[in-house]
Amino acid sequence: MFGLEKRDTTLLLIVAILTLFAPFILNPFPTGSGLAQFNAGYPDLMQRFVIFGIFAIGFNILFGLTGYLSFGHAAFLGVGSYSAVWMFKLLSMNVLPAILLSVIISGLFALVIGYISLRRSGIYFSILTLAFAQMSFSLAYSVLTPITNGETGLQLTLDDPRILGASATADGSIPVTNLFGLEMRSTYQMAVGAWDFQFNIGYYLCALILLAAFYLSIRIFRSPFGMMLRAVKSNQQRMNYTGLNSKPYTLAAFVISGMYAGLAGGLMASMDPLAGAERMQWTASGEVVLMTILGGAGTLIGPVLGAGFIKYFENIFSKINDNVLHGWFSFLPDGLEDFVVFIVHPFIGKGWHLTLGILFMLVVIYLPGGLVEGGQRIHGWIRGNKRGDASQSKTNPAE
């Protein structure tokens, strides 16, 4: 199906099910229950899941296949966001031209940075990409203020020309982003008993683009081009000895990865038309590295899982405070309740980074292949138990 092998088709269908049915999957608990704190099925967070999933998929094409570790991919995320907002300001509020411009501009930017950075490899390549990203951040924050609006960030105003669209709505407000009339913020709420499910137009646009991006990454992984990138990761020097020039392949991987990042940045601006220099900071570049490693570098579905895992911790786990903890442990005696809350307090709320760091250490130590390796081990253990039960129940004929 779709020109893919059975295993890859299964992966694509799994990602499709997870994304299309996310409003149900991410709302497992009734709205009024104490466990509703863990529900993540609201539009803004679901959009972040898929957008950063796209960002991580693109980064994995570079890092997972070639082994080149970039610490500057947030620069392309920021460039994509700025490009999209400028398209909204100058042309129209239709997200399609903005997304296309984000991908093109980010690709050109990646071509320039990659051409220079790929003259070096290893840690020197990583430092070069980090330097370019920090230079981009500094320029966006200060020198390029007429283009980026500096510290305040680039925003829409009523004075924007929007030559193919209205500068203001009938009530005098700024128009909202749309796709041929379908507003990105439009949300349909469906109440089923004690559950409340939300279906957002913007989320489903991002989800469909994620599926297309994931499908493209599968084709890249299984193509001769992908095999060449694996050869670069395996032994680039030996590859060069055979007479093959690896530079065009690594540069192409870098540009494709940058275009994925620009796509993610364009989608972020399409959902919330605002672009700031903070999206170019080194912390954003480090975040996508963590997503890829945590999910499983070099795997297909790993970056998507890693992105969802980290964004869940950032947006859900970080909101658990002492009041929530007291509600959970209210069945304990007062002294014991306060003691338990005191012990758990450093690991939740503002301390969510500590919990995430511990989990990341455990994954790196015990599951070098990331969450994907963990899933494979569980699957193998289940299959092993089933085979064991079958062999025990099987009767052997008497000799």
Q: What is the pLDDT of residues 14-71, one digit of tens each?
A: 999 999 999 999 998 888 777 788 888 889 999 999 999 999 999 999 999 999 999 9
Q: Which of the pair, 256 or 196, is modelled with greater confidence?
A: 256
| Residue 232 contacts residue 250 (beta carbons within 8 Å) | yes
Length of the chain: 399
Q: CA 101 → CA 1, 54, 59, 262, 267, distances in Å? A: 31, 17, 20, 9, 11
pLDDT on residue 213:
96
150: pLDDT strictly greater than 60: yes
386: pLDDT strictly greater than 70: no
| Residue 70 contacts residue 89 (beta carbons within 8 Å) | no
pLDDT on residue 254:
96
Residue percentage of the chain with pLDDT more than 70: 96
| Residue 307 contacts residue 291 (beta carbons within 8 Å) | yes
Confidence category of residue 172, pLDDT binned at 50, 70, 90: confident
Delimit the domains of the chain by residue range. Answer: 6-281
Confidence category of residue 397, pLDDT binned at 50, 70, 90: very low
Q: Computed over its alpha carbons, how large is the radius of gyration of the chain?
A: 24
Q: Across the strands, what pairs with 88? A: none
268: pLDDT strictly greater than 90: yes
111: pLDDT strictly greater than 90: yes
pLDDT on residue 393:
43
Lowest mean pLDDT segment, chosen from 130-144, 213-227, 340-354? 340-354
106: pLDDT strictly greater than 90: yes
pLDDT on residue 349:
81
pLDDT on residue 399:
40
Confidence category of residue 129, pLDDT binned at 50, 70, 90: very high
Distance CA 154, CA 277 (A): 9
1: pLDDT strictly greater than 70: no
Lowest mean pLDDT segment, chosen from 2-6, 154-158, 209-213, 221-225? 2-6
Confidence category of residue 203, pLDDT binned at 50, 70, 90: very high
Structure tokens at 284: 């954003």
pLDDT on residue 380:
85
Residue 179: phi and psi, rounded to 5, are: -120, 95
Distance CA 70, CA 113 (A): 11
Q: CA 292 → CA 102, 114, 286, 362, distances in Å? A: 22, 20, 10, 15
Distance CA 46, CA 75 (A): 23
Q: Is 318 exposed, middle or buried (0-12, 13-18, 19+ CB in 10 A)?
A: middle
Region 374-387: mean pLDDT is 81
Buried b or exposed e, range 329-347, using 16+ CB within 10 angstroms: beeeeeeebeeebeebeee
pLDDT on residue 388:
62
Confidence category of residue 395, pLDDT binned at 50, 70, 90: very low
